């Protein structure tokens, strides 16, 4: 391509890049998705240039009209992108020059591609964070419906994936409501910090033109302009923070997905996904695979990989802009798309999931899950030190294990061989239902607590 210089570079270069350089240098293949933000930024910049007297109002009007035409072409799929023009900025500016002629050359006054891409990318990430937060709010609502429906549905609570104590499925759902609420908080915090406009930082040092950065910041929906031109064009911590929040959220969704996979097995049989979120086997006709949950689980690798990728890109860059930063966008675009799909899929699965309450309740009482209730009863009723009660309860579990029965099925006479003061009242705490009802401490699994927390979170979301 020698002899075919890129006019947008001006007179510094005698010839254009060869094919390999063009391929590695161009970002239009992925940054074209920023066209909405790029045009909005250019319109705000042109309006400010006219308002401050840097360009004429007539030129600003022609620029705005030309940009509107380009936006229409882009939305209709009629815009022709050129790799030779490298990026979304030059593609749009070149087309603007074709449409309106010399006024197009005034648009880049007091601006650089450095602050232009910092603006476009920040606007895109801010919108993605807002969308993700809203989607998580919908997922919380879906969980609250399930929690209310199953406020008293017993299920086993696990530690080490071993039956620990009975809880309710509603309480289990509310655990994810808490996680998702913190995820939303991380996105809100990130939005607050990225709500500063870098436009006007120019290449790195600001500009000598009398621009009004507060005007462009307000026009573009930012709280205020950034305060340091070097930092404005050279940091991508807003994208890193978005990826960090996205990665933590993806981990929460992955844990839930794993539980759905486990619950869906015939061995557990706690829940079943509908055909909408399952697939069959090409060879085994009996199979119903929880593929949607498995894919949500797998998305976590892509999303956390995006965070590591961008951290690695940024870790050794001196101030200010380096071409390395062109590698900041694809991973963010992919992570945003992946988390949006994962949230939507999980929202559908939780809405649609069918709970086998009988199987869950039966499992809730297995594995001597009310043993802690027995120990607590010994402390409360017999004034026994907890360590002694723990020892007595352990012997009771061994006794039940030897007889092949549950704790509630042990005869009173046999329990009294462990401690003669044990009386009939012990059976009030050995049932799953009574165990669950007794967990009334704040944040506990008692059905009333579950309903109170559902009401609390509904008021918060409202």
Residues annotated as catalytic are: 160, 281
- Token digits of residue 161: 């994936």
In whole angstroms, how far apart are CA 148 and each of 350, 452, 456?
13, 10, 12
In whole angstroms, how far apart are CA 273 and each of 73, 263, 353?
43, 10, 5
DSSP result, 143-179: HHHHHHHTTT-EEEEEETTEEEEEEEHHHHHHHHHHH
Within 10 angstroms of residue 58's Cβ, the number of other Cβ atoms is 10
Contact call for residues 117 and 323 (beta carbons, < 8 A): no
Q: Residue 451: name the closest of 18, 81, 247, 150 by CA.
A: 150
Within 10 angstroms of residue 244's Cβ, the number of other Cβ atoms is 17
Q: Report how far residue 427's alpha carbon sits from residue 53's, in angstroms, rounded to the nearest whole number.
A: 86
Q: Residue 152: name the closest of 456, 445, 457 by CA.
A: 445
Phi, psi of 156 (to 5 degrees): -75, 135
Contact call for residues 262 and 268 (beta carbons, < 8 A): yes
Residue 356's Cβ-count burial label (10 Å; 0-12, 13-18, 19+) is middle
Q: Residue 130: name the closest of 195, 71, 177, 75 by CA.
A: 195
According to DSSP H, which parts of 101-153 are helical? 113-149
In whole angstroms, how far apart are CA 337 and each of 129, 182, 240, 366?
11, 20, 16, 42
Contact call for residues 196 and 224 (beta carbons, < 8 A): yes
| CA 42 centroid distance within chain | 30
CB-based contacts of 364, cutoff 8 Å, min separation 6: 154, 155, 156, 163, 166, 167, 432
Residue 406's Cβ-count burial label (10 Å; 0-12, 13-18, 19+) is middle
Residue 307's Cβ-count burial label (10 Å; 0-12, 13-18, 19+) is buried
């Amino acid at each position: 391509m020698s002899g075919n210089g890129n006019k947008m570079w001006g007179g510094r270069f005698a010839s254009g890049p060869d094919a390999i350089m063009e391929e590695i240098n161009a970002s239009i293949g992925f940054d074209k998705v920023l066209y909405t933000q790029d045009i909005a930024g250019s319109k705000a910049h042109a309006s400010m240039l006219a308002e401050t007297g840097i360009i004429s109002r007539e030129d600003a009007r022609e620029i705005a009209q030309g940009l509107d035409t380009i936006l229409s072409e882009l939305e209709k799929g009629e815009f022709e992108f050129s790799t030779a023009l490298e990026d979304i900025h030059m593609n749009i500016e070149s087309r603007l020059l074709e449409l309106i002629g010399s006024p197009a050359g005034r648009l880049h006054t007091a601006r650089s591609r450095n602050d232009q891409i910092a603006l476009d990318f920040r606007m895109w990430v801010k919108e993605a964070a807002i969308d993700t937060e809203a989607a998580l709010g919908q997922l919380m609502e879906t969980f609250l419906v399930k929690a209310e429906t199953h406020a008293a549905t017993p299920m086993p609570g696990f530690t080490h994936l071993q039956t620990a104590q009975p809880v309710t499925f509603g309480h289990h759902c509310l655990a994810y409501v808490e996680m998702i609420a913190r995820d939303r908080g991380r996105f809100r915090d990130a939005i607050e910090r990225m709500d500063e406009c870098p436009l006007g930082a120019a290449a790195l040092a600001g500009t000598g033109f009398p621009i009004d950065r507060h005007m462009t910041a307000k026009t573009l929906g930012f709280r205020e302009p950034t305060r340091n031109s070097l930092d404005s064009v050279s940091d991508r911590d807003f994208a890193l923070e978005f990826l960090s929040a996205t990665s933590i959220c993806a981990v929460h969704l992955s844990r839930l997905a794993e539980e759905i996979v486990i619950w869906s097995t015939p061995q557990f049989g706690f829940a079943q996904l509908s055909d909408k979120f399952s697939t069959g086997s090409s060879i085994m006709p009996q199979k119903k695979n929880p593929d949607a949950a498995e894919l949500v689980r797998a998305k976590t690798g892509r999303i956390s990989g995006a965070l590591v990728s961008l951290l690695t890109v940024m870790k050794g860059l001196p101030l200010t802009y380096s071409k390395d930063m062109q590698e900041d966008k694809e991973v963010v675009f992919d992570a945003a798309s992946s988390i949006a799909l994962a949230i939507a899929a999980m929202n559908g699965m939780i809405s649609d999931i069918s709970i086998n309450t009988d199987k869950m309740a039966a499992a809730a009482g297995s594995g001597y899950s009310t043993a802690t209730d027995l120990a607590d009863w010994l402390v409360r009723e017999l004034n026994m030190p907890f360590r002694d009660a723990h020892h007595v309860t352990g012997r009771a579990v061994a006794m039940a294990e030897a007889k092949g029965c549950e704790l509630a099925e042990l005869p009173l006479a046999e329990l009294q061989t462990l401690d003669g003061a044990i009386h009939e009242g012990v059976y009030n705490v050995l049932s799953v239902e009574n165990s669950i009802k007794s967990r009334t401490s704040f944040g506990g699994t008692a059905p009333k607590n579950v309903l109170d927390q559902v009401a609390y979170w509904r008021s918060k979301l409202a």
